Amino acid sequence: MTIRVRFAPSPTGYLHIGSARTALFNWLYARNVGGRFLLRIEDTDVQRSTEASTRSIIEGLEWLGLNYDEEIVFQSANFEKHRAAALRLIEAGTAYRDFTPKAERSDADIKQGIADRARAASAEGTDHRSNPYRELSMEESNRRAAAGEPFAVRLKVAPEGSTRFEDAVYGTQERSYAEIEDLVLLRSDSHPLYNLSVVLDDIEMGITDVIRGQDHLTNTHKQILIYEALGVAPPRFAHLPLILAPNKGKLSKRKHGEVVSLTTYRDRGFVPGAFRNFLALLGWSPDTDQEIMTLEELTRKFSLAGIGRANAVFNFSESDPRQWTDAKALWMNAEYIRTMPLAELVPMLKAELRASKLWREEYEEDEREWFEKTVDLIRQRFFTLKDFSEQGRAYFSDDFDFDPAAQKKNLYKEPRLKELLPDLAAKLEEVEPWTAADIEAALRAYADEANVKAGLLINASRTMLTGHAVGPSMFEVFEVIGRERSVVRLRSALPWSDMESM
């Protein structure tokens, strides 16, 4: 039998990185065993589900390169089937109508309410299955329903016994029926609830392995009960450890902002392969020390056995912009940027530069060689795709800003540079051929002649030509920026205009 797994997010917001990782693991597992990876949108909560969210999920998966094999299933399309199934369970006697009026609950303190109620229940030793309608006769139940009285449908959980399943990550899980209340399958407005819908859809989609977050671990027992009521064998389960915030609390958009949203990584210049690689290592580890892995390698090495049980902390600092996300993710992105084939990097850069209005079509034809050489030079010290249009702006445009700290350090400290630099420009005009080696020879010769350290001219030039105090080897920079532009920039008065004010 072919393995079939699914990623089943609810479209109630951006795609959370934890969800993205769940999708990744499902995808890797499916590809590793030659199975199929399906996508199901769990939009049963009509109030909170949005189309924008569905789009962001689809875009996110696409960005990560996680293609799904069949048509997307929208859970809301199966309402009627779910309803019918619940009603059949009443017929079968494994579920019953609960005519208790719906309790109104304010959304705000719902968590607190649940805890309080549970505390009270356990303190007073309330029987979970003391529902007065549980043993209502079928005739009476049918009569009241026919009379139009609203009812919820609850699963009838046996008083004694337990459910048990083998989790591929957490091992044998057992839970006494006494711990499980008669869960609601259908709301009194006849809206099917999560546990029912999941089971029914998983059955219909032929899901063989359910891989999802550990937050579903205990509820799995409820779902197994539903499978049993339905007379269907449950799939295999594998629960994934959670991804936590630095304080080991829940990682949420409300508290932590955009770091938790997958699209943030796309928008802030991550290479999808790098983020995917980083995500794969959160909670899973291969059987070797190799950490940089292509999708193919990840697929080949992936196995549920490599998944750990302890929750992972997503390590970032909210106060330090340089560590706005996990340092290792940032490192990995830089690693990808400086080592990936240019052929793969260039299309991403094209998009980035285009968005910043720095892209020129020539880069793809006449100036392709120059473009790739430049990219190859500057990518060595960039961390994100954004760096190419920001820090790297001077390579693609004559309109760039000067870093005040760089001006101060490399120019204003030595006013003589105001004369030296134009002289250097004159020397450079004579350099032939225009190569890093010849430029270096000319600059060093001039430094000797002017009796200044070469470093002085080099650092000053860097600031004049790029606006920065740091960057690649200056002679390479000269070469790439070109004779003409280099000379003009060395003679520019612009960088000196702020001298008085600093």
Partner RNA sequence: GGCGCUAUGGUGUAGUUGGUUAACACGCCGCCCUCUCAAGGCGGAGACCACGGGUUCGAGCCCCGUUAGCGCUGCCA
Query: Within positions 276 to 295, which residues make up the interface with RNA, using CB under 7 A?
Result: 281-285, 287, 289, 291
Query: Which CB, 39 or 359, lies closer to RNA?
Result: 39
Task: Give me the least distance between CB of 360 and RNA, in Å please.
Answer: 26
Catalytic, 427? Answer no
From residue 206 to residue 225, what is the string marking binding to RNA with x (rule CB under 7 A)?
--------xxxxxx------
Instruction: Candidates 173-181, 354-362, 366-374, 489-497: pick the segment binding RNA (CB under 7 A).
Output: 173-181
Residue of 253, 255, 357, 453 marked catalytic:
253
Q: Is 146 in the site for RNA (CB under 7 A)?
A: no
Our CB check for RNA shows the closer of 127 and 179 to be 179
DSSP 167-188: ETTTEEEEEEGGG----EEE-T
* Closer to RNA by Cβ: residue 44 or 94: 44
Q: Which tokens hold the place of 346?
A: 């260039």
Closest of 78, 64, 84, 61 to residue 6, by C-alpha = 61
CB atoms closer than 10 angstroms to residue 104: 5
Instruction: Name which of 351 and 437 has its Cβ closer to RNA.
Output: 437
Identify which of residues 27 and 151 has a Cβ nearer to RNA in the complex.
151
Minimal distance, residue 129 CB to RNA, in Å:
12
The interface mask with RNA, positions 400-439, x = CB under 7 A, is: ----------------------------------------
User: Residue 57, Cβ neighbours under 10 Å: how many?
Assistant: 26
Say whether residue 189 binds RNA (CB under 7 A). Answer: yes
**Shortest CA distance to 188 belongs to which of 130, 219, 143, 145?**
145
Q: Closest by alpha carbon to 338, among 272, 383, 279, 387?
A: 383
Tally of helices (H runs) and strands (E runs) in the chain = 22, 12
375 binds RNA (CB under 7 A): no
Closest CA to 134 of 163, 160, 103, 157: 157
How far apart CA 416 and CA 413 sit, in angstroms, is: 9
Minimum distance between the CB of residue 314 and RNA, rounded to whole angstroms?
7
Residue among 17, 27, 42, 371 that touches RNA (CB under 7 A): 42
d(CA 334, CA 380): 8
- Binding footprint of RNA, residue count (CB under 7 A): 89
- Minimum CB separation of residue 128 from RNA in Å reads 8
14 binds RNA (CB under 7 A): no
Residue the block writes with tokens 């992972």: 312
34 or 132: CB nearest RNA = 132
Contact criterion met (CB below 8 Å) for 42 and 83:
no
Please name which of 478, 1, 493, 487 lies closest in space to residue 233, comparing C-alpha atoms. Answer: 1
Q: Which of residues 307-346 bind RNA (CB under 7 A)?
A: 308-313, 315, 326-328, 331, 334, 338
Distance of alpha carbon 221 from alpha carbon 162, whole angstroms: 9
Residue in this structure with the two tokens 């875009």, named with its chain if needed:
59
Site string (455-474) toward RNA, x via CB under 7 A = x--xx--x------xxxxxx
Q: Output the smallest distance, CB 364 to RNA, in A.
A: 27
84 binds RNA (CB under 7 A): no
Encoded one letter per residue, x for contact with RNA by CB under 7 A and - for no contact, window 111-140 reads: x--xx-xxx-xxx-----------------
Q: Give the pair of three-digit tokens for residue 413.
A: 């400290």
d(CA 83, CA 44): 12
Least distance to RNA from the beta carbon of 374, Å? 15
- Binding test (CB under 7 A) with RNA, winner from 23, 57, 242, 259: 242
Tell me how far apart the alpha carbons of residues 95 and 92 are, in angstroms, rounded to a whole number.
7
Asked if 160 touches RNA (CB under 7 A), the answer is no
The 3-state DSSP class for residue 95 equals strand
- For residue 179, CA distances in Å to 159, 171, 183, 376 come to 10, 19, 11, 61
Catalytic residues: 253
